[in-house]
Structure 1
């Protein structure tokens, strides 16, 4: 898998738009590597394979900043980088977010992933080297990846929204006309359409295989028929943010949701130490003192006694706990001392889940809860509770039974601990209008509702009004 990543990501980068996001770009001129034009018309089957594997590789880009910045604002962690105080001062709301600063790698990466997937799609459309069925398979894959990447980007941007169109890659010289930013609601509609169009294309592809290698992290999802289950998982996420509860339940029915299955099932991003590949960016050695991910104090204090996600052996020690007690507590100046650090991955090549059954189970509980099927919601939440050593709600918290408001709190609590540092807590508290319940470590801190528009985008629109 990793040697394939290594070979193919080079072509993806060479023919991709490698400046930031959807703004000013240039063609890559390199006589030793393919140009963009060389694949947009009559790409060879080998080139389609390289582009497809390259897109799988770049899905990993932006992951560290997406998880860590959203986790910091959502009060899951404090990223105490010793040489750069902005990583905690800005993200904890002590000083304003700098639109021209260091916090936008996720933005650039997710927009680049969208463009690379679009390049793959248009290259597949304009070639005779693959069959019509394979072209539909590529379309379904590309649009699903775009939906996944842009939902992540959109949730960070919140009400600022995202650009929902960009320039025509097929017209030489016409690469500098990104579309306008749209509202959060309009942008969600755009992402939903990407996912739904992806499903329609995968349906047409039928039993046709993808015309590119699906790397090992996609085991179980490596054909268009199986990839539809991932597509519907992404669609369920979109429906959740749209508060379309019936739509979410419908999407889940087509996903890989299994109420009695392994909670860890799902596609994964993989890593290696092979040259030109990437290692797991979220891994941290124990007792790290240069760039520790410290656990915000309330996370441990507010956990239920016996919760295996918090107490006991950490994941690197073959346990279930996502955090580990430090020998020496640490904290930035004037913060309360933090006794625990994030320890979610055993090694620097451990895979990272893209989306797994545990999240789907929690989404199913939410769909049932929001449609007033409280009994089904309780039984589903109990699946998660019992998996981590907690008693069922009827015994542990009988007051929540039949109480929708308290069950929403229970749902958010289970999502807090099951999906810790996976890009959910900040957005969960925002969509339930509970940001004011997130803790502040210093009186001058506050919780942001969204990132501001990057300065590069502001500057671009000032000179080149969007169309």
Structure 2
């Protein structure tokens, strides 16, 4: 089994940049600085950096899921060491977000570390002696990951926008609008896809990319990510076109296909941050009761939720079930999988007026989880409700619900339960106060 060769890509991470920290002048691929990477890097150095980028892109997921899942009322994080999870994130007593929440800052730190790692690769290509096709391989991977990481940042900050350019720590690029941010991400992905059309990979991925470890198959991953971006842009026609070049399969047996983040025990490896030991109470993801109450009879996605031996309560919140998504602390987590692509296909077809195609796609998902064909109204309203139902259960606790609800005007107290008197529903995070705008 190929394991990720964990490379410490320190670089100019988000918080380090904003703190005006500088890099030590060392030439070590495990602790790269700008000059050591961009000054004619060898193929070996670029390989190390690319493998390090894949590894770095696993970080920060725990905070991201805690933040988005709590706000969307998917789950509660009952963590005895962090009271923000049942107070600030849930809007207790009307408290507003400040941008200093550890779930936000930790996620942004990790995402911008990965972005900077991608920048190291891109900056080093001009002077590298490797062939043009190999350069295209590095470029395609780096641009794809760069866009994937920044998508999380943009979604968390919402209308506050996103900083795309962090190349110069002394002259950071501006925050761009939400719309311009999505446009920039699509452009990155398109440039990456173009590079992958005439590319060669001289590096190895982890086993998480088995089946997506050639330029041709990695390009399918790139198009899948671009389709995800397109639905956030409400560019549904483009989403359908992008899916044509992705790994979309309208086969209910292929729902789990897709590249994954892999985790392992030992050394500097990372463990799956979403896995929790069954039945523990000090640190547990507790399922919001609405997911237990609202699931349709016979829907086997109920198996994502484990009934606790004893119900748990904290800070005026309670639940009877806990997370049961992953078997162990080394279980992989999807970057994106075919199940999501089918749901993107359904959503885009609804918005484009292709209602029969949308219904057929939704039935693929329903049938895979023990449900009969959709029997509701075959119109935009009915199919949109059905699509959102399936996204909520298929992609539960994967960082989508907050943004899905927001996209459809449902991230509010009209559509979500208020669990304690005085709680409010947040819609986005502010820019962190230590950020230089």
Is the shorter-chain TM-score for this pair beyond 0.5, marking a shared fold? yes
For 1:399 and 1:59, the matched residues in 2 are separated by: 40
Query: Are 1:339 and 2:334 counterparts?
Result: no
Query: Are 1:27 and 2:23 counterparts?
Result: yes
Task: Using the TM superposition, give the Cα deviation of residue 4 of structure 1 relative to its aligned residue in structure 2, in angstroms.
Answer: 4.4
Query: Are 1:46 and 2:40 counterparts?
Result: no
Q: Secondary structure at the match of 1:293?
A: strand
Q: Secondary structure at the match of 1:456?
A: coil
User: Which region of structure 1 is more displaced relative to structure 2, 37-46 or 223-232?
Assistant: 37-46
Task: Using the TM superposition, give the Cα deviation of residue 425 of structure 1 relative to its aligned residue in structure 2, in angstroms.
Answer: 0.6
Query: Aligned residue for 1:62?
Result: 60
Query: Are 1:189 and 2:183 counterparts?
Result: yes
Query: Aligned residue for 1:158?
Result: 158
Query: Are 1:434 and 2:410 counterparts?
Result: yes
For 1:269 and 1:384, the matched residues in 2 are separated by: 23
Query: Aligned residue for 1:316?
Result: none
Are the equivalent residues in 1 in contact too, given 2:84–2:101 (CA < 8 A)?
Answer: no
Query: Are 1:107 and 2:108 counterparts?
Result: yes
Query: Aligned residue for 1:140?
Result: 140
Query: Aligned residue for 1:249?
Result: 240
Query: Are 1:289 and 2:273 counterparts?
Result: no
Q: Secondary structure at the match of 2:300?
A: coil
Give the one of 12, 15, 23 matched to 1:17: 12
Are the equivalent residues in 2 in contact too, given 1:2–1:271 (CA < 8 A)?
Answer: no
Give the one of 349, 356, 364 matched to 1:375: 356
CA 1:30–1:125: 2 relative to 1, 3 Å: closer
CA 1:263–1:21: 2 relative to 1, 3 Å: farther
Give the one of 383, 391, 401 matched to 1:425: 401
CA 1:456–1:324: 2 relative to 1, 3 Å: same
For 1:82 and 1:177, the matched residues in 2 are separated by: 40
Are the equivalent residues in 2 in contact too, given 1:22–1:112 (CA < 8 A)?
Answer: no
List aligned pairs for 1:63-82, cutoff 5 A: 63-82=61-80
Give the one of 323, 338, 346 matched to 1:357: 338
CA 1:35–1:294: 2 relative to 1, 3 Å: closer
Gaps of 5+ in 2: none
For 1:271 and 1:166, the matched residues in 2 are separated by: 28
Task: Using the TM superposition, give the Cα deviation of residue 2 of structure 1 relative to its aligned residue in structure 2, in angstroms.
Answer: 6.4
Query: Aligned residue for 2:98?
Result: 98
Q: Secondary structure at the match of 1:328?
A: strand
Are the equivalent residues in 2 in contact too, given 1:268–1:355 (CA < 8 A)?
Answer: yes
Task: Using the TM superposition, give the Cα deviation of residue 22 of structure 1 relative to its aligned residue in structure 2, in angstroms.
Answer: 4.9
Q: Secondary structure at the match of 2:125?
A: helix
Gaps of 5+ in 1: 169-174, 311-320, 462-467
Are the equivalent residues in 1 in contact too, given 2:119–2:167 (CA < 8 A)?
Answer: no
For 2:145 and 2:277, the matched residues in 1 are separated by: 31
Query: Are 1:413 and 2:413 counterparts?
Result: no
Are the equivalent residues in 2 in contact too, given 1:21–1:107 (CA < 8 A)?
Answer: no
Q: Secondary structure at the match of 1:233?
A: helix
Query: Are 1:179 and 2:173 counterparts?
Result: yes
Aligned residues, how many?
428
Give the one of 228, 239, 261 matched to 2:230: 239
Task: Using the TM superposition, give the Cα deviation of residue 35 of structure 1 relative to its aligned residue in structure 2, in angstroms.
Answer: 4.2
For 2:16 and 2:232, the matched residues in 1 are separated by: 23
Query: Aligned residue for 1:399?
Result: 376
Query: Aligned residue for 1:309?
Result: 301
For 2:237 and 2:14, the matched residues in 1 are separated by: 40
* Cα RMSD for the two superposed structures: 1.6
Give the one of 216, 227, 230 matched to 1:225: 216
